[in-house]
Chain A
Amino acid sequence: MNLTTALARLLIFPGLLFAVPFAWFFLWVERKSVALMQGRIGPPFMQPFFDFIKLLGKTTPPRRGVSGLLMKTWPLLAVSTAGGAVGLLPVLPSSGGFEGDLILLLALLEVPSMCIIAAGFSSRSIFGEIGSAREAVLSVSYNVVFLLAIVSIAASQHTFRLEALAHLPASPMLILAVVAILVCLPAKLHINPFSLPNAEQEIYSGPITEYAGPELAMWELSHGLEWVAATGLVATLIAPHFTAVWLAVLAFVVLSFGVVLLLSVTAAATARLQIDTTVRFYWQCTLIFAVLAISSALFMRFRS
């Protein structure tokens, strides 16, 4: 992948130019679908965009005892890493990529969550600190399953190249891994039943309680980009291999949209779990997934 291709992927498709409107679109889909399931009308189509513009126009009040630079850095870092993660997704049929880009993608996907943890502690709000502590515990719990799922597919193909994984034919291992990733996504995106870090009835907005104006706008955008990156990752893993560019893009969009709807239904149909129940759930998932992955690997080894 040369510099031009890399820049085109990062800035145009599937990077910022594509990802930012889609982030707002997915945020709208999530809010609208949940509203419809709850018998409400829900927001108009352009609402996430209007929210973003409105927040950009506001002035953040001065905060005593808090480093303004740090407060500005975390959301910007979260937006850029989430945008970078979307840029790495192998959406196009011959998107290039490089050996090890999967590891970079996993790292980039993790940075927004670390930024949120740091942001909560930087804000010196008691609600922010509790939210950050919850996010840290949650992150440690679901990431084991999440990483195990992705690494097991990569290990089965002996490559850490995303493009190779995107072209995998359907296999029990792939289905198992996709299910495991789907189980982790509600926690990664802070939606029910794992919306613990931003449980508004308990700790307001958690880590981002003290954020307002353009900084909050950036958090909203990074959240939207995380939606695109996370659902896009699932979409690239399950999408069939198309040679036509428009078909590949269409499949990516439709499948991502389907995953967003699935997650929205899950969020609307569940209550928030407690932190210990959540941790127990993910460690049980880890155990089950580990046993299934090892059995599957042994089975394939004996069969070959």
Chain B
Amino acid sequence: MSYKIPMGPYHPALEEPYKLDLICEGETVRDAKLHIGFNFRGIEHLAETRNYIQVIALMERVCGICSNIHTLTLCQSMEQLTGLTPPPRALYIRVVVAELERLHSHVLWAGIAAKLMGFKTMFMTCFELREKVMDVLQAISGNRVNYSMNRIGGVNRDIDDPLAVLAMVQALEREMVRTVIPIFTTSSTARSRCAGIGILTREKALSCGVVGPTARASGLPQDLRRDAPYAAYSEMEFNVPVQPDGDVRARLLVRALEIMESCKILRQALTKMPPGEINTGDAKIVFAAGTATSRVEAPRGEVMYSVSWKQDAKNPSRVHVRTPTFANMPSVRWMVLGARLADTPLIQASIDPCYSCTDR
């Protein structure tokens, strides 16, 4: 006998409101339907009523976890329309903040995954570590969530003493190696709960068009930082971790290895940071009419912004956002088919969904 189990829109396993209707036979999931739109705030429409300074502050609030990525992508799009090029130091600072944000996001996700396995002690450990990453971000930007770092033509704040931040990052890396990485890679609990579940084959991943760690865990070697470098990524040396298995454990491993790669990028960016200006100044900015797009590798995958501007307009005529969760979420249906009910919270969380971004 099959029965329907509603998971959401409000459920202890979900960080944000969305709904997964699971059709089960006993403890086995036979089908699933995903419903989104519970978090719609009309931000894209609001953006059309804001000028180029206000729109940055607005788009920073699309997401509480990857707030910097949204302003970075938006600013890159607007820089194309204005013809401004950020100075090299600003590009390095953008890399530092983006990688710290990636660390923060991956550690937060590790905590959520641990909680979904019923491992609350590990959840607390991960969140404690996340606080330390936020301390570093606060030391740089003065903020813990919405960093307000990006502006058209550069960044708002300088990193006065990169070596002091480097020391904080190294302390962070040591702690990551001691706590989070072993949970991700060698813990038998993680292995028993994650291996072989929520499988997304390479072919299915391609046909669903998944992005980010979800794609890399299904054997698709894609990363915009390497494939279409932006900011100062072309000057960084790093590897793109890829796992062929496509299960939840592969997604765990990819994120664990990405944490290490992020630390590597941070070390390089902080040591090699060139001197100079951090933005192009406060002169009035003139926009050319047209549409510009920009793509950035967010912690969850590719974020794309398309910004349109009309001649002599004060506000953008269209700001379109395509978030990684929008690309990844259809794959959840294929991942949960045949899975056990107990595994579904973990499987749906393995794409690291962000419905705040998706619904906007």
Interface residues of chain A, those whose CB is within 8 Å of chain B, are 34, 37-40, 126-127, 130, 192-193, 195-196, 199-204, 268-277
Interface string of B295-326 (1 = CB under 8 A from A): 00000000000000000000000000000000
**Which residues of chain B are within 8 angstroms of A271 by Cβ–Cβ distance?**
114, 117-119, 122, 189-190, 193
> From A137, which residue of chain B is reached at the shortest CB distance?
B27
Q: List 26 A-B contacts (CB under 8 A).
A: A34-B120, A34-B121, A38-B120, A127-B5, A199-B342, A200-B12, A201-B13, A201-B115, A201-B116, A201-B118, A202-B341, A204-B11, A268-B120, A269-B121, A270-B119, A270-B189, A271-B114, A271-B117, A271-B118, A271-B122, A271-B189, A271-B190, A272-B119, A275-B340, A275-B342, A276-B340
Residue B40, interface by CB 8 Å = no
Minimum C-beta distance from A141 to chain B (A): 15
> From A194, which residue of chain B is reached at the shortest CB distance?
B118
Q: From the candidates B118, B189, B192, B193, name the one contacting A199 in the complex (CB within 8 A).
A: B118
Minimum C-beta distance from A193 to chain B (A): 8
B192→A273 contact, CB < 8 A = yes
A275→B128 contact, CB < 8 A = no
Q: From the candidates A126, A196, A268, A276, name the one contacting B5 in the complex (CB within 8 A).
A: A126
> From B119, which residue of chain A is reached at the shortest CB distance?
A271
**Which residues of chain A are within 8 angstroms of B122 by Cβ–Cβ distance?**
271
Known contacts A39-B128, A202-B341; is A274 also within 8 Å of B5 by CB?
A: no
CA separation between A269 and B125, bound complex, in Å? 12
CA separation between A192 and B189, bound complex, in Å? 12
CA separation between A70 and B147, bound complex, in Å? 55
Residue B3, interface by CB 8 Å = yes
Residue B338, interface by CB 8 Å = no
Q: From the candidates B13, B121, B189, B193, name the one contacting A202 in the complex (CB within 8 A).
A: B13
Residue B124, interface by CB 8 Å = yes
Number of cross-chain contacts by CB at 8 Å: 67
**Which residues of chain B are within 8 angstroms of A130 by Cβ–Cβ distance?**
5, 27, 341
**Which residues of chain A are within 8 angstroms of B343 by Cβ–Cβ distance?**
274
Q: From the candidates B3, B13, B128, B342, name the one contacting A274 in the complex (CB within 8 A).
A: B342
Q: Which of B29-80 contact A (CB under 8 A)?
A: none
Residue B17, interface by CB 8 Å = no
Residue B330, interface by CB 8 Å = no
Residue B9, interface by CB 8 Å = no
List 10 extra interface pairs beyond A39-B124, A127-B5, CB under 8 A.
Answer: A130-B5, A130-B27, A130-B341, A200-B12, A204-B11, A269-B121, A271-B122, A272-B118, A273-B192, A274-B192
Q: From the candidates B27, B121, B190, B192, name the one contacting A38 in the complex (CB within 8 A).
A: B121
**Which residues of chain A are within 8 angstroms of B125 by Cβ–Cβ distance?**
38-39
Q: From the candidates B3, B128, B189, B345, name the one contacting A201 in the complex (CB within 8 A).
A: B345
Interface string of B111-153 (1 = CB under 8 A from A): 0001111111110110010000000000000000000000000
> From A268, which residue of chain B is reached at the shortest CB distance?
B121
> From B127, which residue of chain A is reached at the shortest CB distance?
A39
Interface residues of chain B, those whose CB is within 8 Å of chain A, are 3-5, 11-13, 27, 114-122, 124-125, 128, 189-190, 192-193, 340-345
> From B188, which residue of chain A is reached at the shortest CB distance?
A271
**Which residues of chain B are within 8 angstroms of A276 by Cβ–Cβ distance?**
340
Q: From the candidates B4, B5, B118, B192, name the one contacting A195 in the complex (CB within 8 A).
A: B118
Q: List the 7 shortest-distance A-B pairs measured between CB atoms, nearest first.
A: A272-B118, A271-B119, A38-B124, A271-B117, A201-B13, A271-B189, A200-B12
A201→B12 contact, CB < 8 A = yes
Known contacts A192-B118, A271-B193, A273-B192; is A202 also within 8 Å of B342 by CB?
A: yes
Minimum C-beta distance from A215 to chain B (A): 21
> From B343, which residue of chain A is reached at the shortest CB distance?
A274
B117→A277 contact, CB < 8 A = no
**Which residues of chain B are within 8 angstroms of A192 by Cβ–Cβ distance?**
118-119
> From B349, which residue of chain A is reached at the shortest CB distance?
A201
CA separation between A277 and B193, bound complex, in Å? 10
Minimum C-beta distance from B263 to chain A (A): 23
B189→A40 contact, CB < 8 A = no
CA separation between A37 and B121, bound complex, in Å? 7
A204→B12 contact, CB < 8 A = yes
Minimum C-beta distance from B330 to chain A (A): 23
CA separation between A203 and B12, bound complex, in Å? 9
Minimum C-beta distance from A20 to chain B (A): 28
**Which residues of chain B are within 8 angstroms of A127 by Cβ–Cβ distance?**
5
> From B124, which residue of chain A is reached at the shortest CB distance?
A38
Minimum C-beta distance from A205 to chain B (A): 10
CA separation between A204 and B14, bound complex, in Å? 12
> From B27, which residue of chain A is reached at the shortest CB distance?
A275
> From B120, which residue of chain A is reached at the shortest CB distance?
A38
CA separation between A98 and B45, bound complex, in Å? 79
> From A127, which residue of chain B is reached at the shortest CB distance?
B5
**Which residues of chain A are within 8 angstroms of B344 by Cβ–Cβ distance?**
202
> From B114, which residue of chain A is reached at the shortest CB distance?
A271
Q: From the candidates A126, A196, A268, A274, name the one contacting B193 in the complex (CB within 8 A).
A: A274
**Which residues of chain B are within 8 angstroms of A38 by Cβ–Cβ distance?**
120-121, 124-125
**Which residues of chain A are within 8 angstroms of B27 by Cβ–Cβ distance?**
130, 275
> From A40, which residue of chain B is reached at the shortest CB distance?
B124
CA separation between A126 and B4, bound complex, in Å? 9
CA separation between A141 and B125, bound complex, in Å? 32
Minimum C-beta distance from A257 to chain B (A): 21
